[in-house]
Chain A
Amino acid sequence: MTNLFAPVAVDSASPRVATAAPAPGRAVLQLTGIEKVYQTRTIETVALNHVNLTINQGEFVSIMGPSGCGKSTLLSIMGLLDEPTGGTLELDGRPVQSYSDKELARLRNHKIGFVFQSYHLINDLSVLDNVELPLLYRSGVSGKERRQRAYAALEKVGLGARTNHFPSQLSGGQRQRVAIARALAGQPELILADEPTGNLDSVMGEEIMDLLLTLNRQEGTTIVMVTHDEQQALKTQRLIRFFDGSQVS
């Protein structure tokens, strides 16, 4: 089987699709001619229309656009949760189309962390158990190591004292911090955040945004964030705008 996690040699001279801003590092994600069409018997809906995009290592990219323009679909495709109907997607320089369900799951587990608008924490599990989740599906990580790494991730988001709480006992902002800690626990190269401040008031939203910015600057974590908030989008290194499934800037 292909070693999905072997170091990838990056050919900086290789032609890349034009992006909005110069890239600080190697390409983590490369989308070429990505299309997503939802087809029913009578209607064909184009969610993404020939999207070309490169996300480089260490970048903080925000994606904006009106509701229904395909932002979340794009994020799902970037996160290997959905398949495009056309085009190619490369993760760390390798096309992922031919990978099996098992291989895609392994890639998601090792390389990608997700933050969702509605947190999607498992209410039946404690904060610590929630944060451990990505490590549960990683072989060779002992229970002790899982605990340590989850605790370290929670410390990073300022919730080291809340490990035994349950999601229902936390505020919205705290829940989103837990969700970020969960995304960090597996030490992924890429964090995909789908409107992470969408359910929060402005103060908490700012806190979460600051946290993501800090992670990007201090840890060099690559972040792609879908947002409706122009102010927050402007704080990121690159802003991509979408309209009707197409990239407009």
Chain B
Amino acid sequence: MFLSYLKIAWKVLLRRKFFTFISLFGISFTLMMLLVMYAMVDYSVGPQMPELRTDRLLFITRMQLFYRDGGQSNSGLGYAFLDKYARTLRTPEKVSLSEHNFSTVAAYVGNQTLKLDLKRTDDVFWQVLNFDFVAGRPFNAQEERDAAHVVVVNESTARRYFGTSENVLGRVMELDAVRYRVVGVVSDVPLSRIQSYAEVWVPLSTTPANLRDPDYLGGYMAILLAPSAAEVDNVKAEFQQVVNRIPLPDPKQFKELRTRAHTLFASLIAHANGSSSADGASGLVVRVALALTLLFMLLPALNLINVNVSRTLERASEIGVRKAFGATTSALMRQFLIENIFLTLLGGLLGLGLAAGMLAFINSIHLIPYAQFALNGRVFGVALGLALVFGILSGVYPAYKMSKLQAAQVLKGEVAL
């Protein structure tokens, strides 16, 4: 029976090619837009290199200090603060400290100046994250302790600086007039991975800044790796307990201190809205995104409903015959829903193709440095899900209308919708 429904669905599609084109265009264009957006979000916060273990990673990136007179200070955290309160946590498997933002350094290649994004990290940084090393290794604990002038460089920068990304280990890069020895080359990390992105990474201990500065606010962040996904909430809770006990830097000046360990997604929301308490905000963002997605799909869905209802007239005879030979209202509803879902799945497939093309275009214009947006299993799953929702959204009402046609009337040629 299912095969019969599909046969009919296919023939109906071919019957009025212009209507079919309008319907498929609406569906595939809508799905393309949504898929491109989802692919970009997934590329930024999904489990991809180097934050491969997003289900176990937590980020402490911001602190808010509320003044008694109503204002607030909001920035990254001080190194000494994180060293004292984050590095000493018992529940995480590993804790890494690094600079919160990359800084720009100059390198010279002949007469050309290269502006490179540099991030200082500790050695654990390379253990909590999963960089793709194409050559060499990360810097180790000894090098971090010794403030060794070693550097991990991304492939593109190696090519720009050395003219090649091969056999560059042991060679020297001069960054802001400081010489660093290359110990590793990694695949490019896109700028959208803001917690790990850089073009060159050097040991945190090489910083000229005073790491013993007791100021709670500063330019650093911590990345926590929970022992398992199930332990993430325990890690969050432990950090919160610690934070609750931390004395305010100046109780006369400040009334409250806020900082949290966030998932990657929540940390990006916190980064975007400049807040440290983004747990609720990330939930709100997801809900708003879902509502907007539905709203975005509503217009083409309404168009499809319209097309489907008008097509009811040309299928009245078929509906009458099916009823006469034993089709129940629910069987007919099922048939028309399956047909509509077939159409929207086809639209979803086209949408995936269009999305792949659009992502390739975005990659080609280098909208986001080093980003190579692509479709993956999750995007495919979302496409399937969206097409199904779309199919049901636009199919239920026409299917109901069709199935309710009176067989005796339509077989006599008297159709009343």
Contact = CB atoms under 8 A, between A and B. Distances in A.
Interface string B73-114: 000000000000000000000000000000000000000000
A81 B321 contact: no
B329 interface: yes
A109 to B, nearest CB: 3
Interface stretch (B4-12, B165-173, B193-201, B361-369): B4-12
Contact of A122 (B8, B323, B411): B8
Given A101-B328, A109-B326, A120-B317, A125 B8 contact: yes
Contacts of A122: 8, 318, 321
Contacts of B7: 124-125, 129
Contact of B408 (A82, A110, A138): A82
Interface in A57-71: none
Contacts of B1: 136
- 5 A-B pairs with the lowest CB-CB distances in the bound complex, closest first: A109-B326, A124-B11, A137-B326, A76-B408, A82-B408
B313 to A, nearest CB: 15
A72 B406 CA distance: 15
A81 B4 contact: no
A106 interface: yes
B318 to A, nearest CB: 5
Contacts of B326: 105-106, 108-110, 134, 137-138, 186
A129 B11 contact: no
Contacts of A79: 324
22 contacts: A76-B411, A81-B323, A81-B411, A105-B323, A105-B326, A105-B327, A106-B328, A108-B324, A110-B326, A114-B324, A118-B317, A121-B321, A122-B318, A124-B7, A124-B15, A125-B7, A133-B321, A134-B326, A136-B4, A137-B328, A138-B326, A186-B326
B322 interface: yes
A92 B99 CA distance: 86
A83 to B, nearest CB: 9
Contact of A116 (B318, B330, B411): B411
B8 A124 contact: yes
B277 to A, nearest CB: 55
Nearest to A112: B324
Given A124-B15, A129-B4, A136-B1, A109 B412 contact: no
B190 interface: no
Nearest to B330: A102
B105 to A, nearest CB: 68
Contacts of B235: none
B408 A81 contact: yes
Given A72-B412, A105-B326, A122-B321, 5 more contacts: A108-B326, A121-B321, A133-B325, A137-B326, A182-B325
Interface in A92-116: 101-102, 105-106, 108-110, 113-114, 116
A125 to B, nearest CB: 7
B331 interface: yes
A137 B332 CA distance: 10
Contacts of B12: 124
Nearest to A82: B408
Given A81-B407, A81-B411, A133 B11 contact: no
Nearest to A182: B325
Interface in B365-417: 406-408, 411-412
Interface residues of A, number: 31
Contacts of B15: 124
A105 B412 CA distance: 19
B324 A137 contact: no
B26 interface: no
Interface of B: 1, 4, 7-8, 11-12, 15, 317-318, 320-331, 406-408, 411-412
Nearest to B328: A105
Contacts of B323: 81, 105, 108
Nearest to A122: B318
Give the interface centre of A132, A137, A138 by most chain B CB atoms within 10 Å.
Answer: A137
Contacts of A81: 323-324, 407-408, 411
Contacts of B406: 82
Contacts of B321: 114, 116, 120-122, 133
Contacts of A120: 317-318, 320-321, 411
Nearest to A143: B3
A137 B325 contact: yes
B324 to A, nearest CB: 5
Given A122-B321, A124-B15, A137 B327 contact: yes
Contacts of A137: 322, 325-328, 331
A129 B317 CA distance: 16
Interface in A116-172: 116, 118, 120-122, 124-125, 129, 132-134, 136-138
A185 to B, nearest CB: 9
Nearest to A166: B11
Give the interface centre of B324, B331, B411 by most chain A CB atoms within 10 Å.
Answer: B324
Nearest to B412: A72
A73 B411 CA distance: 11
A133 B329 contact: no
B318 A108 contact: no
Contacts of B408: 73, 76, 81-82
Contacts of B411: 76, 81, 116, 120
B12 to A, nearest CB: 7
B8 A134 contact: no
B407 A109 contact: no
A165 B7 CA distance: 15
Contacts of A186: 325-326
A128 to B, nearest CB: 11
Nearest to A120: B321
Give the interface centre of B8, B12, B323, B330 by most chain A CB atoms within 10 Å.
Answer: B323
A109 B4 CA distance: 18
A112 to B, nearest CB: 8
